[in-house]
Amino acid sequence: MTLLSICMPVRTRPDEALTCLRVLMRSQRQDFEIVIAGDCDNAAMLAGFADQHGDPRLRLLATGDRPLSPVEAANRLIEAARGEWLCLIGESDYVDPELCAVIAATIKRVPQADAIGWGSAGFTWPADRDGQEITHVPTRSELGILDQKQMMRRLFFWEDASNLPDCPFGVVHGAVRRSLMERIRDGFSGQWLDQDDLRWDHACKTVLMAGAMVYWERPMSVRGAGGDRSTRSSVTGSEPAADPAGPHAAPFPFSPGLGATARAALAIEAFKRRCGIELDGWEAGFVAACARDCETASRPQRFRARKEAYAAAIADWRGAPALAGFRPEFKFRTDTPRFQGHVDGRLYFDMDMGAPASAADFYDVIDAMLFPVALLDAKLA
């Protein structure tokens, strides 16, 4: 029985996908599979790669007769997956197949677990970096069950949010049990996923439907990012629109081009509307997250543009008084250096440590200095 299906749609960056696949296939584990699908532009490259390796763990789906949207591509991969657990990553990302060991150790202690999340790690590909980039990873390694109500507050009320909700659950860079996937499909639209922003679409559903959500603080995957930490992959959020004031869904006047916070909020709000969920009291948390999204900009010009665009959207949405909670400050001043070292359970370090050329290389660097996955079972014993 395949324990884990790692699903990866391949769209515009097949070279990056191949770097990930090469590392995945070096794993000696036999209890996982990789399900990939390309489009017309890269089908031949992927087919050549699959033929060359001849590894039954790698399954390449046939190219469709038309280009698929992100959600269509993801649904097709999930439909084809055979694993007991599923994880969806983007072509610029990486996930460690040792996730199988984490799943096994988890269900030994929490048999009812059906969603597993883990600490986040991000990597900006070298060509997209604008000088030195300091990143951080969580260094703790506790594993525990998270309370569903708490997760709902974090996701829908933006409690304890950074620029994004602090919710690590869902099939995108998370592991979800097949039974839960099916409950979600049957309980909502009959589709595995409904929105092109796959991450937040599925996070909403997982948080509402999961029987037991288990979180391990230690990162198990890497999200590949573009310049200024913008989302690079079609599975971790839709690409930003060229025009920050572009089309949006009234009465929520935030466009995807504003930033990651706006994109997450658009997906969450679309989900709420679809399900008829009406909540009060989440706006302040969201506005504060908008401010933090501005603060992720490392260039003053970009910071100012983002601040103005968010401010206009907030004022348009809730009126000028709502701006009282929107006070972003530019953090990356040239006279204030970035911190490197360990503080508050996070290691801050130069992303060029070990000169990683890919998300998989980067994972190799952090894997060497984080709690060993192989010891998780003994730690929990």
Partner 1 sequence: MAPFTRESDMPPMVSLSICIPTRNRQGYCIETMRAIAGSGERDFEVIVADNSDDPAPLRQAFDSFSDHRFRLVAPQGRVLSMVDNWERLIPETAGHWISVIGDDDYIDPAVGGLIRRFEGLRPDVEAIGWGRMNFHWPDNRPVPTLASVPTGAGCWASDRVDLQDRLFRWSEGRSRPSCGFGIYHGAVRRTLMERIRQTYGGRYFEHPVVDYDSNCKVVAEARSLLYCERPFSVLGECAASNSASALSLERLKVLVETFKTESASDLIRANPDFPFTLFEAGASLCVSIAATTVWFCRKYGIDLTGFEANFARAAMDECRYSPSLEAYEAKVANIRAGFAAWDGGRWADLFEPAPFNAPKTVNALSGVMEDMIHLREDRLRVTTPGEFYRYAEHAIMPVGHVVAGTRSFVT
Q: Give the Cα separation of 324 and 289 in Å (integer).
A: 13
In the list 2, 27, 141, 148, the residue contacting partner 1 (rule: CB under 8 A) is 141
Q: Give the Cα separation of 361 and 222 in Å (integer).
A: 10
Q: Give the Cα separation of 193 and 210 in Å (integer).
A: 15
Minimum distance, C-beta of residue 25 to partner 1, in the bound complex (Å): 19
Q: Enumerate residues 345-364 that contact partner 1 by CB under 8 A.
A: 346-350, 352-354, 364
Task: Check residue 374 for interaction with partner 1 (CB under 8 A).
Answer: yes
Report the run of H or E that residue 222 belongs to, with start and end: strand 221-225
In the list 342, 357, 358, 380, the residue contacting partner 1 (rule: CB under 8 A) is 342
Q: Give the Cα separation of 16 and 20 in Å (integer).
A: 7
Per-residue CA distances from 234 to 3, 36, 194 (Å): 25, 14, 14
Closest CA to 87 of 108, 72, 102, 109: 102
In the list 127, 242, 250, 343, the residue contacting partner 1 (rule: CB under 8 A) is 343
Print the binding letters for residues 234-273 with partner 1: x by CB under 8 A, - otherwise: ----------------------------------------
Contacts of 358 (CB under 8 A, 6+ apart): 16, 19, 20, 23, 94, 125
Task: Check residue 368 for interaction with partner 1 (CB under 8 A).
Answer: yes
Task: Check residue 98 for interaction with partner 1 (CB under 8 A).
Answer: no
Question: Cα 142–368–131 angle (5° rounding)?
Answer: 105
Minimum distance, C-beta of residue 366 to partner 1, in the bound complex (Å): 10
Minimum distance, C-beta of residue 308 to partner 1, in the bound complex (Å): 22
In the list 111, 190, 281, 341, the residue contacting partner 1 (rule: CB under 8 A) is 341
**Which is it for strands 346-350 and 134-138: parallel, antiparallel or unpaired?**
antiparallel
Task: Check residue 371 for interaction with partner 1 (CB under 8 A).
Answer: yes
Closest CA to 261 of 297, 287, 234, 224: 287
Minimum distance, C-beta of residue 381 to partner 1, in the bound complex (Å): 8
* CB nearer to partner 1: pick between 273 and 379: 379
Minimum distance, C-beta of residue 353 to partner 1, in the bound complex (Å): 3
* CB nearer to partner 1: pick between 324 and 343: 343
Strand partners, 35: 7, 59
In the list 26, 66, 149, 333, the residue contacting partner 1 (rule: CB under 8 A) is 333
Contacts of 239 (CB under 8 A, 6+ apart): 231
Q: Give the Cα separation of 62 and 89 in Å (integer).
A: 19
Task: Check residue 1 for interaction with partner 1 (CB under 8 A).
Answer: no
* CB nearer to partner 1: pick between 1 and 368: 368
In the list 15, 340, 357, 380, the residue contacting partner 1 (rule: CB under 8 A) is 340
Residues within the interface to partner 1 (CB under 8 A): 136, 139, 141, 331-333, 336-343, 346-350, 352-354, 364, 367-372, 374-375, 378
